[in-house]
């Protein structure tokens, strides 16, 4: 797989242009009663490769690493969305972390880095950002790839202000391995399972040749 030659658009910001504003997620009912249309994002396990080192370059751009001349291998993906409560209200100030394996299927973790599986040093491997007042967050990363028997996925940890962390994973719509993935299929509620499977869409207006995913995280 060739390294990306896409020009770098900015280290500390990720464009959030796919949806200028979220559509209303509250269904009005007679008598002034409102019913939430949101389903809480399901909790999943942290996994064995939660990053052990959050020092150094841990911003929202995982494609470029400070001090590395090359960009990460893989297809660039802009992941963006909002952190919301079940009533559809934004949760500003939430800490959002992601981590995933590189394009060769290796995590940036001492337990996964071996002499026969060389990690892509140009891939940051994990990142952190803070949701703005509208609950919006964004990352510039690569499209997830399979890891062992796992379907492609990106790990998320969201910590709302003054509340416990939510750990979950984002999956790719149309990926055949989804049907056989044990962790994904442990989510019994079909609505919750659908909520973590997202479409990857062309995003040339964000960055030529890139894809984008819209992943709202609902704290229940």
Total domain count, the chain: 1
144: domain CATH number is 2.60.130.10
Beta pairing class for 76-85 and 211-214: parallel
Span 26-35, average pLDDT = 39
CA distances (Å), origin 4, targets 7, 33, 73, 138, 203: 9, 51, 6, 20, 16
Tokens of 55: 């020092």
Average pLDDT over residues 85-101: 98
The mean per-residue pLDDT over the stretch 29-42 comes to 64
Residue 20 lies in a domain: no
C-alpha torsion 204→21→142→14, nearest 10:
90
Name the pTM for this structure: 0.83
Half-sphere exposure of residue 211, counting CA atoms within 13 Å on the CB side? 14
Question: Is 184 domain-assigned?
Answer: yes
Residue 80 located in a structural domain: yes
Confirm whether 93 is domain-assigned. Answer: yes
Three-class DSSP category at 191: helix
Report how far residue 144's alpha carbon sits from residue 100's, in angstroms, rounded to the nearest whole number.
7
- Full domain range(s) for residue 208: 38-48+57-219
Q: Is residue 83 in a domain?
A: yes
Considering the domain boundaries, does residue 187 fall inside one? yes
Q: How confident is the model at residue 113 (pLDDT cuts 50, 70, 90)?
A: confident
Given a cut of 90, whether residue 33 has pLDDT beyond it is: no
Per-residue model confidence as pLDDT tens digits over 130-166 = 999 999 999 999 999 999 999 999 999 999 999 999 9
Structural domain includes residue 146: yes
């Amino acid at each position: 797989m060739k390294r990306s030659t896409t020009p770098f658009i900015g280290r500390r910001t990720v464009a959030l242009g796919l949806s200028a504003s979220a559509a209303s997620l509250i269904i009005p009912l007679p008598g002034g009663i409102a019913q939430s249309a949101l389903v809480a994002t399901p909790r999943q396990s942290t996994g064995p490769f939660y990053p052990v080192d959050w020092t150094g370059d841990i911003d929202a751009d995982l494609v470029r690493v400070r001090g590395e001349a090359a960009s990460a291998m893989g297809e660039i993906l802009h992941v963006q969305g909002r952190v919301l409560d079940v009533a559809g209200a934004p949760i500003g100030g939430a800490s959002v972390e992601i981590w995933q394996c590189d394009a060769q299927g290796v995590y940036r973790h001492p337990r996964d880095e071996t002499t026969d599986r060389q990690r892509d040093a140009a891939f940051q491997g994990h990142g952190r950002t803070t949701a703005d007042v509208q609950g919006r967050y964004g990352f510039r990363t690569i499209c997830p790839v399979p890891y062992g028997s796992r379907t492609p996925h990106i790990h998320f940890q969201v910590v709302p202000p003054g509340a416990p962390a939510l750990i979950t994973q984002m999956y790719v719509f149309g990926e055949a391995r989804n049907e056989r993935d044990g962790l994904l299929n442990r989510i019994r509620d079909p609505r919750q399972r659908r909520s973590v499977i997202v479409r990857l869409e062309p995003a040339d207006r964000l960055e030529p040749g890139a894809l984008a995913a819209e992943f709202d995280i609902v704290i229940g």
